[in-house]
Amino acid sequence: MYIARVPPQRKVLYLLGTFCTFFLRVIELN
């Protein structure tokens, strides 16, 4: 998989981005 070859820093940034997007959507729903 492509994600497996991505450096740890990129993976953390990707996870943070996904979490922030999810968090903003939860705020919009409430």
User: Domain map of the chain by residue range?
Assistant: 1-30
The pLDDT value recorded for residue 7 is: 76
The pLDDT value recorded for residue 18 is: 93
Q: DSSP assignment, residue 6?
A: S
1-30 pLDDT, tens digit per residue, is 565 676 778 888 889 999 999 999 999 987
* Spatial separation of the C-alpha atoms in residues 6 and 25, rounded to whole Å: 26
**Buried b or exposed e, range 5-28, using 16+ CB within 10 angstroms:** eeeeeeeeeeeeeeeeeeeeeeee
